[in-house]
Amino acid sequence: MTTLTDEERALAAGERGAGSAMAMRIVAESARLMGAPRLLRVASAHIDGALYHGDSGTLFAEKLVEGAARVAVPSTLNVGALDLVGCSRNRLPAHERDMARRMMKAYEAMGCAATWTCAPYQAGHRPAVGSDVAWGESNAVVFCNSVLGARTNRYGDFLDIACAITARAPDYGLHRPENRVARFVVDASGLPAALKASEAFWPVLGTWYGLHAGTAVGVIDGLQGHASEDKLKALGAASASSGGVGLFHVAGVTPEAPDVATVTGGAAVERVVLTGAMLQAAEARLSTAADDSVDAVAIGSPHLSLDEVLELRRLLAGRKVGVPFYACTGRHVIRAIDADGTRRALEDQGITFVADSCVVVAPIIERTTGVLMTNSGKFAHYAPGNTGLAVRYGALADCVESAMAGRLVREPMLWQ
């Protein structure tokens, strides 16, 4: 049974209006179903529920607005179905497009920040280590827990907005310190340094890790000196796609894991030595195409950082791509590349930027058959089911060269 405070009971009874009352009842009932003894206060939220999947989601959001609901904590918005910046075109039919726009407006009306990115941590939303938050979107959740050291469970539609309105979340799961202890160790120390330095390694490692971990918490040892935020972003996104990972630790890198002994609590735990063969098997899962054709390229899941966009420009070196090439990013990055001329230069070279949205969750790619190449473990996991295209996985440099040739051009993976 979940015990509510007097303030929480008053909120559920309508003290702050019908919208807040509905949100409080949703949070309280979710806590009961999860077996949480109480609710805890959260410092912020990231809302995944504003992506249009059907009219009911729009009507739910508008019902909250009608009931005068407003978020009670800083709240960012994940990708929506429409590119409101206007970089790309969406093929949604008129009714669905209208309902998607209404949905996005409803969430902004509740006071959510119009970030429209799956990487809010790159747009300035970075909660403090040890703080409790309520985040949706699997890659954002795992980054928040692992890299930032804040505490959240994987809050789904539409519990995320209810938590934001009430500033409350169920006290269970990864909010509790005892559930954040590593239960197994992955030893990556024997892998070549050149492999660990490659950006192509991290989504493959994440794919293997997610398959091994499921929802369990582990710690990876042997990556010290190689882990940038963009690489950890790629690792987390892939692990949350191939598995249900909400938290991983990297010894000597992430804030709760100064060393293996600390994050395991000194307990004897399973130890797995990572090998090239394990990574080869994981990498093979990321490609489903039967031939070497490449009909389109998509990158940016999670959304590209400014550094990643600049690396794309460096690799293109002024050349124009030969197949459709989609680069998904947040409007905060679009503003930066508008200011220095990078956006115009890359668009002249054939790059289509996608802001506020994503090609795997919205009908933006014009093709529905063929082969999509990507450097994203998350795109590789979801694209076949969501777009109908087969996928090829490769490094960003491979994606660029394949886009020039219109066929697969890929350097042999280092672990081979």
pLDDT along the chain (416 residues), means of 10: 96 97 98 97 97 97 98 98 93 96 98 98 98 98 98 96 98 98 98 95 98 98 97 98 98 98 92 96 95 96 98 98 98 97 98 97 92 97 95 97 94 66
pTM of the entire predicted model: 0.97
Tell whether 256 and 374 lie within a shared domain.
Answer: no
Q: What is the pLDDT of residue 413?
A: 64
In this structure, what CATH number is given to the domain that contains residue 323? 3.30.499.10
In DSSP notation, 374-403 reads ES-HHHHHHHHHHHS-EEEE--HHHHHHHH
How would you label 42-80 residue by residue, b for 16+ Cβ within 10 Å and e otherwise?
Answer: bebbbbbbbbbeeeebbebbbebbebebbbbbbbbbbbb
Answer yes or no: is 416 within a domain.
no
Q: What is the pLDDT of residue 287?
A: 96
Q: What is the pLDDT of residue 415?
A: 55
Tell whether 253 and 299 lie within a shared domain.
Answer: no
Show the tokens assigned to 201.
């390694």
d(CA 193, CA 191): 6
Q: In total, how many domains does the chain have?
A: 3
Q: What is the pLDDT of residue 268?
A: 82
Of 284, 315, 336, the residue at which a domain comes to its end is 284
Tell whether 277 and 293 lie within a shared domain.
Answer: no
Q: Strands across the sheet with 270-273, in order?
A: 249-250, 218-221, 184-187, 270-273
Tell whether 197 and 338 lie within a shared domain.
Answer: no
Cis amide linkage into residue 258, ω under 30° from 0: no
Answer yes or no: is 290 within a domain.
yes
In this structure, what CATH number is given to the domain that contains residue 106? 3.30.499
Answer yes or no: is 415 within a domain.
no
Tell whether 133 and 264 lie within a shared domain.
Answer: no
Q: What is the pLDDT of residue 288?
A: 96
Tell whether 34 and 144 lie within a shared domain.
Answer: yes
Answer yes or no: is 87 within a domain.
yes
Q: What is the pLDDT of residue 414?
A: 63
What single letter denotes the amino acid at residue 246?
G
Tell whether 167 and 21 lie within a shared domain.
Answer: yes
Residue range of the domain that includes 250: 181-284
Of 176, 191, 209, the residue at which a domain comes to its end is 176
